Amino acid sequence: MIGFSIMMWFCSAIVIILSISLLKGNYSSMHGSVFERTEDKEGYAKAVGKPALLVGIGIGITGVLAIAIQESYSIIISLIFMVLVIFIAGLWFVKVQKRWGVRDENTKEVYMFSRRK
């Protein structure tokens, strides 16, 4: 259990540091079609940083749960919690992508991925 928890805390620290960097507006680590086509790169980085912070905190709590629950099923409970956090953060990422997505000039639809001709 302790190995799993230490690994989760280490991953959590990395994700939290990255998300804090994004929340400060540092977008040097970002790339992709939505990022390349947006004009407000700092605003997009801040919008992506919030769900990334949720993922980092969720991973850290997963490590705490694996230590706090002293039963044989503690990792299963921890992983169920992590899947729940990642699902919620995934929905939040989709919302951010739709807000900042690529807009088609003709139909005004928003695409999460670029449509190359």
Q: Provide the phi-psi class of 114: left if phi over 0, else alpha when psi is between -120 and 50, else beta.
A: beta
SS3 content of the chain, % helix, strand, coil (to 5): 70, 5, 25
How many Cβ atoms are within 10 Å of 49's Cβ, its own excluded? 22
Q: Is 96:49 a contact under the CB 8 Å cutoff?
A: no
For residue range 54-101, what is the model confidence (pLDDT) as tens digits? 999 999 999 898 888 888 888 888 889 999 999 999 999 888 887 776
pLDDT (0 to 100) of residue 33: 62
pLDDT (0 to 100) of residue 117: 44
Q: Assess whether pLDDT exceeds 60 at residue 113.
A: no
